[in-house]
């Protein structure tokens, strides 16, 4: 009988047999009612493919639906679910719990952003600085007036900026930037990387106006090249490299 | 003045200072180290016009570089229109005052008024 029972146990599908559990610590903070944040802890089962976002949504579904988190695409495209995961800015949908090699996963809102509630932060400053650097092609002519229907570009010209066009505006670079912490007027690595993206675009004619915008007391020169922006970028944009290229234009090394 | 112009001056003064301070330190090797810092030898340095010009240049370069560095640090520390203007003008005044006082010392020593 014992042998049969054992076989029966082996054959029975058990969905949790391969899963482990992790202690998920979620920062809770409501600026309207709380003076400081506190952490709530949940034991959450996970598989090797479970992402931190899925674990948070599991908590919302089974333990506490009031946890505030912003998310949308779940595939590192929309840039909504940026947060501090075990102290490092990451996308929750792009971070697997199994890759963290820790029994405890602590999630907090991103640094350098005002908190709306819990893990959700305000993006106004990021969008303002992004808008400030004119994130669009500037030309004297327009597509409607031109004889050509497309602004043609060679593969080599595309190569100059395509890496910087991958920015999803998740804000992880601004969260990691030490200058953003102390200088509330600093334009930030996200906007500077996007400035380079358009300055390096052969179709764009707005280089001088963009360089004027970032060449001010809280502009590009306040970057200390810590490089943390490039380290945390989930899309491989490398804002620090873009900033150095832009400095090359301003110092006369590039034209 | 554009920030890029200020930063070009900042980098230029740093590089030039390194060169001139290196010459200044190498000059100490012409005599023994302790002798070079004796009162009479220090005063004698100020009688050489090329050396005095170099000291004056070092003073100007380091004052410009140092006070601009201080301005940058203070601008990152706190923001605000009035504060930033106060910091910028304050640093210019401090720089001029330091260069003025240092130049006075160099000129007086050169003229034997120590």
Q: What is the pLDDT of residue A143?
A: 60
Quick one: CA torsion of B25, B31, B33, B34, rounded to 10 degrees? -140
Best residue of B2, B3, B83 to probe chain A, by most A CBs closer than 10 Å = B3
Beta strand pairing status for A82-85 and A120-121? unpaired
pLDDT tens for residues A88-119? 999 999 999 999 999 999 999 999 999 999 99
Query: Which of B68, B65, B45, B66 has the alpha carbon at shortest distance from B55?
Result: B45
Name the strands in the sheet holding A38-46, side by side, starting at the edge strand that comes first in the sequence. Answer: A38-46, A20-28, A104-108, A82-85, A88-91
Using a CB-CB distance cutoff of 8 angstroms, which residues of chain A are in contact with residue B79?
Answer: 183-185, 218
Mean pLDDT of the A203-214 span: 94
**B30: pLDDT confidence band, cut at 50, 70 and 90?**
confident
Structural domain count, chain B: 1
Question: In a mutagenesis test of the B interface, which of A179, A216, A217 is the best target, namely the one with the most B β-carbons within 10 Å?
Answer: A217
Give the pair of three-digit tokens for residue A61: 């579904």
Q: Do A215 and B84 touch (CB under 8 A)?
A: no
What whole-number distance in Å separates Cα of residue B39 and Cα of residue B20?
Answer: 22
What percentage of residues in chain A have a pLDDT greater than 90? 85
pLDDT in tens, A177-201: 999 999 999 999 999 999 999 999 9
For tokens 């100020």, the residue is B46
Indicate which CATH number applies to the domain containing B49: 1.20.1300.10
> For residues B40 and A255, what is the distance between their CA atoms, to the nearest angstrom?
54
Beta strands of A129-204 (E only): which ranges?
none
Q: What is the predicted pLDDT for the residue at A5?
A: 34
- In the block, tokens 């409607």 appear at A144
Residue B12 lies in domain:
3-110
Nearest CB among B8, B77, B84 relative to A217 is that of B84
Among A148-152, A167-171, A173-177, A207-211, whose mean pLDDT is lowest? A148-152
d(C-alpha B37, C-alpha A79), whole Å: 63
**Strand, coil or helix: A151:** coil
Best of B76, B78, B88 to substitute, by most chain A Cβ atoms within 10 angstroms, is: B76
Q: How far is B71 from chain A (nearest CA, A)?
A: 10
Asked if this assembly's ipTM is beyond 0.95, the reply is no
* pLDDT at res. B77: 93
- The distance of A123 to chain B (nearest Cα, Å) reads 20
Interchain CB distance below 8 Å, A250 and B79: no
Instruction: Please give the CATH number for the structural domain made up of A124-251.
Output: 1.10.1060.10
Q: What is the mean pLDDT of chain A?
A: 91
- Tell me the per-residue pLDDT of B84-101, one tens digit each, with 9 for 90 and over: 999 999 999 999 999 999
What residues contact residue A126 under an 8 Å CB cut-off, 6+ apart? Answer: A113, A169, A171, A174, A188, A190, A191
Q: How far is A134 from A129, CA to CA, in rounded Å?
A: 9
Cα A152 to chain center, whole Å?
A: 31
DSSP reduced 3-state for A108: strand
Domain ranges, ordered by start, for chain A: 20-121, 124-251
In CATH, what is the architecture of A20-121? Roll (3.10)
**The pLDDT value given to residue A149:** 66
The pLDDT of A6-27, averaged and rounded, is 65
> Distance from A30 to chain B by nearest Cα, in Å?
26
**What's the Cα-to-Cα distance from A98 to each of A50, A89, A108, rounded to whole Å?**
7, 17, 19
Q: What is the 8-class DSSP label of residue A110?
A: P
Could you tell me if A157 lies within 8 Å of chain B, comparing CB atoms?
no
Whole-angstrom Cα distance, residue A154 to residue A209?
Answer: 24
At A24 the three-state DSSP class reads: strand
Predicted local confidence at residue A3, as pLDDT = 36
Per the CB < 8 Å rule, is B3 touching A179?
A: no
Check residue B36 and give left, alpha or beta (phi > 0: left; psi -120 to 50: alpha): alpha
Strands (E), A141-217: none
Q: Long-range contacts: A132-135, Cβ < 8 Å, 24+?
A: A132/A187, A132/A191, A132/A213, A133/A187, A133/A191, A133/A192, A133/A194, A133/A195, A133/A198, A133/A210, A133/A213, A133/A214, A134/A198, A134/A206, A134/A209, A134/A210, A134/A213, A135/A194, A135/A197, A135/A198
Note the pLDDT of residue A144: 62
User: Do B3 and A219 lie within an 8 Å CB cutoff?
Assistant: yes
């Amino acid at each position: 009988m014992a042998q049969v029972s054992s076989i029966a146990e082996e054959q029975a599908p058990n969905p949790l047999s391969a899963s482990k559990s992790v202690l998920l610590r979620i920062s809770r903070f409501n600026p309207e009612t709380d003076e400081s944040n506190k952490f709530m802890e949940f034991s959450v089962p996970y598989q090797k493919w479970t992402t931190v976002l899925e674990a948070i949504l599991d908590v919302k579904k089974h333990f506490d639906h009031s946890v505030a988190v912003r998310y949308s695409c779940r595939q590192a495209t929309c840039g909504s679910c940026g947060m501090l995961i075990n102290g490092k800015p990451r996308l929750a949908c792009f971070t697997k719990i199994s890759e963290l090699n820790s029994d405890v996963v602590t999630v907090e809102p991103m640094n350098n952003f005002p908190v709306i509630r819990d893990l959700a932060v305000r993006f106004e400053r990021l969008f303002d600085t992004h808008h400030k650097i004119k994130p669009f092609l500037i030309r004297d002519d327009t597509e409607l007036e031109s004889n050509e229907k497309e602004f043609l570009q060679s593969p080599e010209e595309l190569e100059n900026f395509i890496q910087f066009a991958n920015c999803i505006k998740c804000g992880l670079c601004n969260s990691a930037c030490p200058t953003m912490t102390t200088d509330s007027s600093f334009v930030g690595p996200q906007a500077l990387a996007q400035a380079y993206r358009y300055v390096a675009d052969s179709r764009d004619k707005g280089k001088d106006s963009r360089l004027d915008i970032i060449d001010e007391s809280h502009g590009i020169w306040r970057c200390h090249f810590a490089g943390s922006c490039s380290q945390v970028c989930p899309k491989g944009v490398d804002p620090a490299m873009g900033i150095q290229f832009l400095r090359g234009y301003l110092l006369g090394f590039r034209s | 003045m554009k920030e890029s112009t200020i930063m070009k001056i900042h980098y230029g003064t740093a590089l030039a200072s390194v060169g001139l301070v290196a010459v200044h330190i190498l000059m100490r090797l012409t005599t023994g180290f302790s002798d070079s810092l004796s009162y009479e030898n220090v005063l004698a340095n100020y009688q050489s016009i090329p050396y005095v010009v170099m000291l004056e240049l070092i003073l100007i370069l380091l004052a410009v570089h140092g006070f601009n560095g201080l301005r940058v640090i203070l601008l990152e520390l706190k923001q605000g229109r009035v504060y930033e203007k106060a910091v910028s003008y304050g640093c210019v005044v401090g720089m001029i005052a330091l260069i003025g006082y240092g130049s006075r010392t160099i000129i007086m020593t050169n003229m034997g008024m120590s």
